[in-house]
Amino acid sequence: MKKNVSALLALTALLFACSDSLYVDPIDKLTSDNFPVTDADAIAAVNGVYQANELSTRFGYTIDLPSDLTITGENPNGDAGFLSSQQWEPFNSYITYMWETFYSGITNANRLIDKLFEPDNTVTPTIKARVIGEAKFLRAYYYQYAVQFWGEVPLVLHRGVKDEGISVKREEIDVVYKQIETDLIEAAENLPHVSAYSGSDKGRATWGAAKTLLSKVYLVWGQTSPTFSDAQRTELFLKSVATATEVIESGDYALEEDYAQNWSVENRNGKESIFATQHAVSQSSDGGGGNHLLHCAFATGFTQSLPHVVVSNLQFRDEFDPNDQRKGITYADSLFNPQTGEWFNFDVPRYGKYIDPIDPNGSASNRNIDRTVLRYAEVFLLRAEALNEAYRAPVQTATADLNTVRRRAFIRTEDPSAYNVPDGLSYEDFKKRIQQERTFELTYEQNRRLDLVRWRILVKTLKASGVKAKENVSHKNYRFPIPGSQRNINPDGLWQNWGYDGSTVSTNPYIDFE
């Protein structure tokens, strides 16, 4: 959905050197006594809830950049550089920005949900149900990032008093996940299937998006709950399997035969896309699409100067089979320059997913490729991993799911099935294959750091990468610090995570992770 600029929301893009953000002004208008009155009001209001998802670069900076695969090409002593080298602290601007933006989206969702449940509301039942579904999906979406970034976070579900930020406290992880589960279940009950949307409504949250995110949440929750028993974890893994199966059996989605089509301007919201951040030219005040993942990957164009985001680990790039079609899309060792009519070879590969092959020179300024968030290939990987976790062995369906993704990767070969993972692998061997396959499939799609954290292999993976910028990693990097600006407002409710200035947690809570 190309977010409509509404007078009620007064959306103004604020673009920086390599950042993208949308400022909703004034938020209070969402809760005026006569708002929302009409269906159009409700739709305009929920469009505003989507706006917190428009910060595509910031997702890349806080999820890809701190991983083993990516480093910054910017000043190593700036906040992006500190993310790259695992030296972030409580006043890092990117970490602060993510906190503020997630809670801005959550606040807008809360206000809208509350208003739509008021008895004198005049929005039609069909639109009301759908908009509430969208708002609950987005609230869960923001919370599932927050709990993975910081662990215990404030759980705010209503917006009543202006000073509530002073009194909120960090809630237990399992309580936050339980609310995420509730929101996604209720969202799925209210949201239409993807086929119900057309025109400018394409890209809105759907039944499939809610179910896919729920499957992912069940898997991550089961792997990271600090209190659940083995039996409770297994229950979550089986819920992940069942939910992913619903998506697969729905027939709503299919894999693109051409992997590159997932990042094609001409194939927006294609058959594999389940949820994506929509980026259209003229979305921003300077006429660009706002997705600075493009700018950051190709800011320096056809030169050897390093862009803002740089491929750091060529060792993993070289693990790709030469016949895997994903290699040339993920890592652009060379690109055809239409302006010169020649191929240009890069000393350091560029991330190719967000470079438009038709107009590579315009990629950095157009910034109009949608950011992939959830796509169908990941559903198979989620189910395969959850099955392996539930049964402590890769049952037949798990192996088949993994091979479904691999056969697409090798579809251009004479016999794609020749690249299948064999049956009979152990739990540990299959787990390693899943971890590798997720990286082959999802590199530069804002998953890598979160994967390393939930697999509890963050420190050893970064240290084994051989990338100098990653040598500073330590156990404290399993979580981001609570932003210092927030703790200045509420130091008692927002206690600091272990290892950071101001923390009163004396024992390393991650000591047994690896």
All structural domains of the chain, each given as residue ranges with its CATH number in brackets, are: 11-198+206-250 (1.25.40.390)
Antiparallel, parallel or unpaired: β 371-375 and 273-277 = antiparallel
Omega cis (within 30) before 125: no
With both helix axes pointing from N to C terminus, report the angle between 207-224 and 230-250 in degrees, rounded to the nearest 10.
160
What is the pTM assigned to this prediction? 0.93
Token pair for residue 423? 């049956």
- Rounded to a whole number of angstroms, the distance between the first and last alpha carbons of the chain is 42
Per-position pLDDT tens, the chain of length 514: 543 322 222 222 222 234 333 233 333 444 445 577 889 999 999 999 998 887 788 999 999 999 999 999 999 999 999 999 999 999 999 999 999 999 999 999 999 999 998 887 789 999 999 999 999 999 999 999 999 999 999 999 987 544 455 678 999 999 999 999 999 999 999 999 999 999 989 999 999 999 999 999 999 999 999 999 999 999 999 999 999 999 999 999 999 999 999 999 999 999 999 999 998 876 666 667 788 898 999 999 999 999 999 999 788 899 999 999 999 999 999 999 999 999 999 999 999 999 999 999 888 888 889 999 999 999 999 999 999 999 999 999 999 999 999 999 999 999 999 999 999 999 999 999 999 999 999 999 999 999 999 999 999 999 999 999 999 999 999 999 999 999 999 999 999 999 999 999 999 999 999 9
Distance CA 133, CA 131 (A): 5
State the amino acid at position 78 in one-letter form: G
The count of other CB atoms within 10 Å of the CB of residue 129 is: 16
